Chains A and B, each alone.
Chain A
Amino acid sequence: MTDHIIWILLFPLFGAVLCALSGGLSKKICYPVSIFSMLGSVWASVCTLIQAIESPVHEVSYILGGWSLDLYPRGVGIEFRADLLGALIALVVTGVGLIVSLYSKVPVQRETPGKEPMYYALFLLQITGLAGIALTGDAFNLYVLIEVAALTGYGLIALGTNRAAAATFNYIILGTIGASLYLLGVGYLYLKTGTLNMVGIREVIESQALYDSPSMQVAFVLVLLGILIKMAFFPFHAWLPNAYCHAPTTTSCLLAPLVTKVMIYVMIRMVLTVFGVEFSFESTWWTEVLPWLVVVAIVCAAVMALAQRDIKKMLAYLIVAEVGYMVGGVWIYNYYGLIGSIFHVISDACMTLCLFLGAGIILEKCKTTHFDGLRGLFAKMPLTMIGFFVGGFSIIGLPPTCGFFSKWYLITGGMVSERWEYMITLMFSTMVMVVLFFRLIERIHLAVDESGKNLGKGHGDLGLNADQTRFDEAPLSMLIPLLLAASIVIIVGIYNQEVVNQIEVFLRAYDLPTGVNYQ
């Protein structure tokens, strides 16, 4: 079979239908069905990536319905186009989906008992939507898939407690505004260029030199504004902390690593493939303004993360800060910055997955994710803590985790473009993250409470009874995905050059300044 690209979407789609239909008969079938469909999807995305790497134009193209690409401009069908960037992101999406579906057995049973068929159906549809966003080559199809991902996301969150439902409403309103603005922007694009195919739009822009056309500028603003809202860029982030904090465990493990990162991918796709480098960076004012907004975003998000006393809320604000990193990496307009941004999409997905899986296990075993309830966890759940803190060290940026390498490229990018504000903000937020995670380590490891008083009887006694310090690890179905995610964080770090090579191949098609001048 050569059309692996469409099987990336078909496996979860059929799995969702199977779950929904047969779930009425037996709830136990949903978990295996989801795992198998995710396995199929991962296999298909690996094959697609290999195809994309080996193809002479470094992309795999598939037109739905068999329409040809020959008619101007670039055909009338809906194209699914996996270039190296899209294939990488699709692999990340399906990989994360596989790990979370392995993880989901215990939390779904505990938090949404009896609703497994619906839950898994929505889960698999969410993966379909996200993978589709990564692979589609058509602007309107992107809207549809964004909404598929969004709607299933709303459903997944609202399946939780009432508090989650209240948070979902807010998310629905904001998410719909974002997607609708994107749709409006696509309308302007279609109006002016006559095509919806992403590459086709760029070809028309370049051939007709539409760089100063007001409608294209409006389209650019609308499209990117919609995407910024959906990716929770400050100050449109207000839906994210509540939605991810109160959502069921598995939902937050799935949505947090993926949704915002895939939206960043969409932004990169719009900026590079649809509008083109010359339009986006040189004909608009975004390059000058946006890094300053990014500075505000990162600083505010980092400071708000400092104020939290609950792990999941803290991680949610960290996501907002990381989104700031990636947006900044794109808009400082140079080669290293874009490498850093794309690599950070991949690595942030992995490390956020690690952290949220760990937080979910902590919630499962300790019934709380508040800082005060965490003392002594190093003795109680050492493996979980190792996995969690691998993710934490990656966020801080300690080698050899992948977070170090993405920070390396982002700093390099900031330096090359001489965007000192972005660089200094990166440094500042790194320090804030050091404080965040080592404060967490202190809470777990030290016999001191928040106000500074000693607890316990000294000599390392943490003031806990024997039951709280007994070795009581998470169930294997939750622990193994966490350790898998932690090892992926380290492996992606060690093998970062392989990934970056592919990113560089992708970026070579675009003419980006590298800022290299040396004696």
Chain B
Amino acid sequence: MFEEGSIFNQLLVERLNYFIYVVLLLIGLWAMIAKNNLIKKLIGMSVFQTAIILFYVSIGVKDGATIPIYLPEHDPHASHLPLESNASEVGAHGPQVLEASLVSSYTNPLPHVLMLTAIVVGVATLGLALSVCLRIYRGYGTVEEDELLEKLEQMDGQTGGGRGRRRPRKRSPRRNTQESNQSRKVTSAEKSGSQKPNSSRRPNPKNAKPKPSGESLNKSETKDENRPKPVRKRRKSPPRKPREDSSQ
């Protein structure tokens, strides 16, 4: 099965590093898409980025090569190499141009360098994402994606209709009272995950894609921008009365 030229040989022996990184990539991708918990999604993201890092590092490896740090004592030709003019006491610490025959003894340092940068970027992303998760948790009380989506839809459904307008919609007075209730418990005190379920509870969007999909949140126009409480709104102009009462 593992003879030369067969698919298994090509995949698992000759190109093992590719195979591994692809598997890790897909695991990470699957986690980002399929997992419900936001933290697990982030773990998936981390695995995804790690796969790429492993790939890069693996392409610098050479058979029988050593780490790319130049120590003159390990260099069999050190005595023959030209010395740096100002390095007479401590020996040849300066960078030397290696002869072609020596190059293959060292692994390629460039991918390592690139991946140090990528690791730093990954760390920064992870840190940022975790703090955003913390913010979500403090704001909505959950880090489960399905619960979060429900809460967002509820809030968007409640706030999207009435609160944003300059004049209240004349539809259901129930909405208007809810909007005045809502206006008091805006944003920061959002333990209000338990809203009055006036909008129908939507079924859990199972196997949702990693994004709370644009479509389901599409219907909601949230006026979250008006964090200034409506009392401020009323400061400028009289409260919005229904049309018939408006003085002209």
Contact = CB atoms under 8 A, between A and B. Distances in A.
Interface residue tally on B, bucketed by range: 35 or more
Contacts of B155: 163
Contacts of A184: 52, 55
Contacts, number: 173
Contacts of B45: 172-173, 176-177
Interface in B232-246: 233, 236-238, 243, 246
Nearest to A147: B121
B92 interface: no
Nearest to A186: B114
Contacts of B132: 154, 158, 165, 168-169, 172
Contact of B165 (A169, A304, A370, A461): A370
Contact of B117 (A110, A144, A166): A144
B59 A173 contact: no
A170 interface: yes
Interface residues of A, number: 64
Given A176-B45, A184-B55, A238-B214, A161 B164 contact: no
A158 B212 CA distance: 16
Q: Is the interface of A mostly helix, strand, loop or mixed?
A: helix
Contacts of B140: 162, 166
A176 B125 contact: yes
Contacts of A310: 164, 221
A126 to B, nearest CB: 13
Interface string A218-239: 0000000000000000000111
A3 interface: no
Given A304-B218, A367-B233, A468 B166 contact: yes
B114 A140 contact: yes
A467 B48 CA distance: 56
B247 interface: yes
Nearest to B135: A165
Nearest to B44: A173
Interface in A165-222: 165-166, 168-170, 172-174, 176-177, 180, 183-184, 187, 190-191
A360 to B, nearest CB: 10
B164 A373 contact: yes
Interface string B203-241: 000000111111101100111111110000100111000
Nearest to A184: B52
Interface in B119-144: 121, 124-125, 128-129, 131-133, 135-136, 138-140
What 9 A-B pairs are tightest by C-beta distance, nearest first?
A162-B139, A238-B214, A310-B221, A368-B164, A373-B166, A163-B224, A165-B135, A170-B211, A467-B237
18 contacts: A144-B117, A144-B121, A147-B121, A155-B128, A165-B132, A165-B136, A173-B45, A183-B52, A190-B110, A190-B114, A191-B59, A242-B212, A249-B225, A367-B226, A368-B165, A373-B165, A465-B237, A468-B166
Interface of A: 110-111, 140, 143-144, 147, 151, 154-155, 158, 161-166, 168-170, 172-174, 176-177, 180, 183-184, 187, 190-191, 237-242, 245-246, 248-249, 304, 307-310, 313, 363, 366-370, 372-373, 375, 455, 457, 461, 463-468
Interface of B: 29, 32, 38, 41, 45, 48-49, 52, 55-56, 59, 110-111, 114, 117-118, 121, 124-125, 128-129, 131-133, 135-136, 138-140, 148, 152, 155, 164-167, 169, 187-188, 190, 209-215, 217-218, 221-228, 233, 236-238, 243, 246-248
